[in-house]
Amino acid sequence: MKKYLAVLLLFTHSVFAQVKTDSLHVTYIANEGFILETKNKKILIDALFTDGYNAFASPTQNCIDNIMNAQSPFDNIDALLLTHYHKDHADSKLIRGYLTKHPQMKLITSKPSLVFIDGEEFGFITLKNQFEEMTPQENQSVFRTVNGIDIQALGIKHLSFFQNGIDLEEYMFNMGYHLNIDGINVFHSGDASMETFKKYIQDNGKWKAPVDVAIIYFDMLQNGKTDIEYLKETINPKYIIIMHVWNNAQEEWTKKVEELKVYFPNIWFPKQEMESRWLNTTR
């Protein structure tokens, strides 16, 4: 019996010791979907969707089932975040089902995203006690603490696509996030371009919040070394993670990321579902 208890205690200690206070465990789901895990917290962001528009990665059905049923590593999620409402980021039915199945769950997103979901899922508003609506003005931010996680929602405009001189994304409300999770600081850009990110910086002055890990839309590094240097000068991350790469550009960006490592060694471009890494954020 004593031997059994000793083994059990050793096993328990080893499991909890795996998550260090200065480490962030990042698991890629698809497109801009990730799990961010620290010693005490676990966040799911842009992960509940199935439609990649035949252009971007989307979660497998097995992955979706595991999320919905809170199977490891999707157990004990502290918050569900959504940057904006596009089909390759959000599925209204899945989000409603997830909140219904997990009544303690908080959804952090903007009012425009809530309106989109409610329009597709009539009665979604009956779950409003689970909503943490954060809607900054464009190029401004709002702050809130949810379940012990400090969340700054950043009104960074969605990148533009023009047709006949009209910005097709003019009405799409995008948010970036700055998160303080157990003292580890994460920036997630949502669908920002370097142009819209620079406009946010320009309107707000010098970036002051620390950033350990920057998870950014690939377009923010189109200019290679120049964009890397700008990110180092402004948010100064220890790690950069690339996301939202077109399916037909995966090989191109795999090569480009290898080239960018000359200027920023801690850059990672995850491509496989559930690919993960421990990132030590100590400087």
**CATH number assigned to the domain comprising residue 137:** 3.60.15.10
Whether 280 maps to a domain, the answer reads no
> pLDDT tens per residue, the chain (283 residues)?
444 444 333 433 443 344 557 899 999 999 999 999 999 999 999 999 999 999 999 999 999 999 999 999 999 999 999 999 999 999 999 999 999 999 999 999 999 999 999 999 999 999 999 999 999 999 999 999 999 999 999 999 999 999 999 999 999 999 999 999 999 999 999 999 999 999 999 999 999 999 999 999 999 999 999 999 999 999 999 999 999 999 999 999 999 999 999 999 999 999 999 999 999 999 9
Question: What is the total count of domains within the chain?
Answer: 1
Closest among 50, 74, 73 to 60, alpha carbons compared: 50
pLDDT given for residue 80 in this prediction: 98
Contact 45, 83 (CB under 8 A): yes
24: three-class secondary structure by DSSP: strand
d(Cα 161, Cα 166) in Å, to the nearest integer? 8
pLDDT given for residue 17 in this prediction: 42
Contact 18, 28 (CB under 8 A): no
Whether 74 maps to a domain, the answer reads yes
Closest among 237, 184, 181 to 211, alpha carbons compared: 237
Whether 154 maps to a domain, the answer reads yes
d(Cα 74, Cα 62) in Å, to the nearest integer? 12
Residue for token pair 């303080």? 180
Whether 15 maps to a domain, the answer reads no
Q: Could you tell me the residue range of the domain that residue 122 belongs to?
A: 21-269
d(Cα 96, Cα 115) in Å, to the nearest integer? 13
Whether 226 maps to a domain, the answer reads yes
User: Do strands 267-268 and 239-243 pair parallel, antiparallel, or not at all (unpaired)?
Assistant: parallel
Whether 35 maps to a domain, the answer reads yes
Whether 239 maps to a domain, the answer reads yes
Whether 259 maps to a domain, the answer reads yes
- Specify the pTM: 0.92
